[in-house]
Amino acid sequence: METTFLFILVLGLLFLGVPVAISLGLSSVLTIALFSSDSMSSVALQLFTASQNYTLLAIPFFILASAFMSTGGVARRIIHFAIASIGHFRGGLAMASVLACMMFAALSGSSPATVVAIGTIAIAGMRQVGYSKEFASGIIANAGTLGILIPPSIVMVVYAAATNVSVGRMFLAGVVPGIVAGLMLMIAIYIQARRKNLPAEEWKGFHEVIAGGKEAGWGLFLIIIILGGIYGGVFTPTEAAAVAAVYAAFVALFVYRDMGPLKEIDWIEQTDGDRATVGFKALVYALAFFFVWMMLSFFAFAEAGEGSFGERATIGLVLSAVILIAYPLWRGEGGIAAVPGTLGSGFPIWGRNLGKIGRHFFGAMYHEDTRKVLVDAGKTTVMLMFIIVNALLFAHVLTSERIPDAIATMMLDYGFNWFTFLIAVNVLLLIGGQFMEPSGLLLIVAPVVFPIAMELGVDPIHLGVIMVVNMEIGMITPPIGLNLFVTSGITGMSLVQVVRAAAPFVAVLFVFLLLVTYIPWLSTAVPTALMGPEIVTSR
């Protein structure tokens, strides 16, 4: 009776258009009040417990990092790098858009943010060289879904919080599936490009790839900070998210300067001579290398206890000194004897720019652009956390009424095994994903299917990736597919047009779902290799 009442009430409220969070919270409170032996004080206790969940603290920081990266010009530089790398293939601009989505996904952890950041630029670029608006929109709508699969992923953090699995394992589990999904979309694009005789960009040489990599490097280094810090034993995932938010703000405000008080202000002015410019850049590259070296060497050796700070700093200084000498020589600014003078001529540029940063540093924290990013990130965080807290209350009711155990017993009595169980999970999530936001749906379904999966010997990390991939497909299937609405908004196309444009590539993701579901090592190989096997019953 309790189970029937709970699910009918939740579904009824959802179909009436009541917000997901209120539907979950209200149905849970009414079930406790009318049927449960728990007192109403358990509601307050559960809400307090949910707010104390340390894992969930990572979510607002990842959202903030994503907001700075989406606003701070990272997407434009990533697209340039992707086009320089693979744009010379047939259909290369479309394939580069997928690659750009993959890279931006590793920075944002959000599918809608990926669609907006990459799609706004990439769709216009594809239209200019002869791609149809429908083809370009379908690619971006599908490739944007990789935002919740490629780590770091906000949805993976939600799954980890709901099931008490390792966030680090979930992030590692998304690496191979994310790459496979991206490659499958690129192969589909290449086949279409050959059939439709789509254009290829001109190959501009490796120097263009290197130049694009240098431009995008500051943004892409965020991936190394997050994943390297977690798996080097330096940060917990929550601490990594906080560091990522600070780093993203610094890059957006003071490195790329596409927002804030230094917007459109160049470090090098037209009055600066060539020699001074070379000296300035040599110091920039040397300092950047030293910073990257110290970070990477720390991540690589910190957990093993190898290499003291002094040893690593000495190696870094020596290599940086080589760059200081080699760059002016490579740029033809005299012989080795002229290097000190070249470097010295760059100091006035350094002094001028450090003065700019010093004068505007605190102003950047309160600038209109910064406030807008903080407010937008805050709104998203409040919305998502309200859903999560109510979903955890719903999960508490399920557990206290032993509903998952009853469903597990029923499925086992009907002869379900792991193979048929995963079919049922996919069908349930694919249907639910058409009507609900990913985090809310995951928090409803995970507490029910997780105990059953453990009973049948399904790896919890593998189950998590399957659920995330289903959430991906749900984001591009009507009527509630969020990526469809976002793509419609940035292109001006109707929702029906976007659905038709996305449909051929959705078929690719369905094939990918089958691969992920029934080839478990795609999800488990990397986390098992780096963190050891998960403790699960064997099939």
Please report, for the chain, the start and end positions of each structural domain, with discontinuous segments joined by +: 264-363
Both ends of the chain: CA-CA distance in Å? 33
Q: Check residue 83 and give left, alpha or beta (phi > 0: left; psi -120 to 50: alpha).
A: alpha
How far apart, in whole angstroms, are the C-alpha atoms of residue 180 and residue 123? 23
Side-chain half-sphere exposure of 254, counting CA atoms within 13 A: 18
How far apart, in whole angstroms, are the C-alpha atoms of residue 93 and residue 124? 11
Q: Output phi, psi for 270, to 5 deg.
A: -65, -25
Q: 298 or 313: whose pLDDT is higher?
A: 313
Highest mean pLDDT among 21-30, 59-68, 384-393, 517-526: 517-526
How far apart, in whole angstroms, are the C-alpha atoms of residue 338 and residue 461? 58
Contact predicate 452/421, CB 8 Å: yes
Query: How many other C-beta atoms are found inside a 10 Å radius of the C-beta of residue 400?
Result: 16
* pLDDT above 70 as % of the chain: 96
How far apart, in whole angstroms, are the C-alpha atoms of residue 525 and residue 523? 6
DSSP per residue over 376-442, as a string? HHHHHHHHHHHHHHHHHHHHHHHHHTTHHHHHHHHHHHTT--HHHHHHHHHHHHHHHHTTS-HHHHH
pLDDT of residue 178: 94
For residue 183, give every residue at least 6 positions away whose Cβ sits within 8 Å of its Cβ, in sequence order, or none: none
pLDDT of residue 183: 95
Lowest-pLDDT choice from 221-225, 238-242, 303-307, 373-377: 303-307
pLDDT of residue 537: 42
For residue 466, give every residue at least 6 positions away whose Cβ sits within 8 Å of its Cβ, in sequence order, or none: 422, 425, 426, 513, 516, 517, 523
Query: Residue 142: which pLDDT band, with cuts at 50, 70 and 90?
Result: very high
For residues 380-399, give the mean pLDDT: 82
For residues 358-376, give the mean pLDDT: 88
Q: Output phi, psi for 17, to 5 deg.
A: 90, 10
For residue 402, give every residue at least 6 positions away whose Cβ sits within 8 Å of its Cβ, in sequence order, or none: none
Lowest-pLDDT choice from 168-172, 300-304, 308-312, 533-537: 533-537
Query: How many other C-beta atoms are found inside a 10 Å radius of the C-beta of residue 350?
Result: 16
Contact predicate 118/140, CB 8 Å: yes
pLDDT of residue 539: 41
Query: Tokens standing for 180?
Result: 């496979």
Angle between helices 111-128 and 74-86 (to 10 degrees): 60
Q: Output phi, psi for 514, to 5 deg.
A: -60, -40
264 pLDDT more than 80:
no
pLDDT of residue 535: 57
- Tell which residue, 174, 19, 195, 164, has the closest CA to residue 90: 195
For residues 473-488, give the mean pLDDT: 84
For residue 252, give every residue at least 6 positions away whose Cβ sits within 8 Å of its Cβ, in sequence order, or none: 68, 69, 71, 72, 73, 74, 258, 259, 260
187 pLDDT more than 90:
yes
How far apart, in whole angstroms, are the C-alpha atoms of residue 399 and residue 243? 35
What confidence tens digit (pLDDT) does each residue in 27-43 have?
888 888 887 776 677 77
Query: Residue 375: which pLDDT band, with cuts at 50, 70 and 90?
Result: very high
For residue 278, give every residue at least 6 positions away whose Cβ sits within 8 Å of its Cβ, in sequence order, or none: 327, 328, 331, 333, 342, 346
Q: Which residue in this structure is represented by tokens 């059953």?
A: 452
DSSP per residue over 64-113, as a string? HHHHHHHHTTHHHHHHHHHHHHHTTSTTHHHHHHHHHHHHHHHHH--HHH
What is the distance, to the nearest Å, from the Cα of residue 333 to the centroid of all Cα atoms in its chain? 43
Residue at 289: amino acid letter: F
For residues 256-263, give the mean pLDDT: 85
1 pLDDT more than 70:
no
The burial of 207, by beta-carbon neighbours within 10 Å (0-12 exposed, 13-18 middle, 19 or more buried), is given as exposed
Query: Residue 307: which pLDDT band, with cuts at 50, 70 and 90?
Result: low
pTM of the predicted protein model: 0.83
Contact predicate 179/516, CB 8 Å: no
What confidence tens digit (pLDDT) does each residue in 193-217 have?
888 888 777 888 888 888 888 888 8
Query: Tokens standing for 537?
Result: 């019953």
What confidence tens digit (pLDDT) does each residue in 76-130 have?
888 889 988 888 888 889 999 999 999 988 888 788 888 888 888 888 888 888 8
For residues 216-239, give the mean pLDDT: 82
163 pLDDT more than 70:
yes
304 pLDDT more than 70:
no
pLDDT of residue 19: 82
How far apart, in whole angstroms, are the C-alpha atoms of residue 100 and residue 179? 12
Contact predicate 215/73, CB 8 Å: no
Query: Tokens standing for 92?
Result: 């290369």
The burial of 486, by beta-carbon neighbours within 10 Å (0-12 exposed, 13-18 middle, 19 or more buried), is given as buried
pLDDT of residue 72: 59
For residues 271-288, give the mean pLDDT: 88
- Tell which residue, 459, 439, 447, has the closest CA to residue 381: 439
For residues 303-314, give the mean pLDDT: 73
* pLDDT above 90 as % of the chain: 18
Q: What is the mean pLDDT of the chain?
A: 85
